[in-house]
Amino acid sequence: MAEAITTTKRYAVVTGSNKGIGFEICRQLASKGIIVVLTARDEKKGFEALEKLKSDGLSDHVVFCQLDVVDPSSVASLADFIKSKFGRLDILVNNAGIRGAKIDWDSSQSSEGSMLIPSEWAKGVLNDVESLTEERVEEVLNEFLKDLKEGALETKGWPTFFSAYAVSKAAVNAYTRILAKKYPTFRINCVCPGWTKTDINNHAGTQTTEQGAQCPVKLAMLPDDGPSGLFFTHNEPSSFV
């Protein structure tokens, strides 16, 4: 069945999109006729990424706006930019992230490591969707930070490989479920793109950025009656933690 072509313009923001999976998400969304705001902390790198997309014939579908997701004033500036230029936002892909640690790649490339959280207590809190609140998520994060400072990650059941990265991802995924309950008319999901070759893993992944972007783009294009509040991996709903 041929993909439906929409005549109404749609607008998207992709955070952290000057390279890697975020950049490819921009490319694929723009190729589908979406007007995409490419964002990056570094303005120079952002404009360089924008020029790459324009050279691929996507000039009419991509713009750049500087964004640092941890800077409230930067977030406010992006909101003002979208409001003044487009008047609305249809799609948000929250892609920005950092590794959070220095890695000795020579000694770690033999093992991908686990992004799962062994802690039964943390999994219980984050999987209890009926009782899940921002305060409960914060409680998990505070407990993790306390155990991290005390050097007790392994004994308390926290991941020891990319620990901060893994726990932060689990927290973001949990927040997705909270938002999905709060805004039932929105389609709000989270996705693991798979072990993709990017800077964050020193290009040690097993799939291309084109492959890694496919599921996020698919979810971004969901119809109004599509699934919400789910975690997708390998293009299928999966367990959150």
Residue tagged active-site, from 11, 165, 175, 183: 165
- 183 catalytic? Reply is no
What is the distance between the alpha carbons of residues 213 and 226, in angstroms, rounded to a whole number? 19
- Catalytic machinery residues: 165
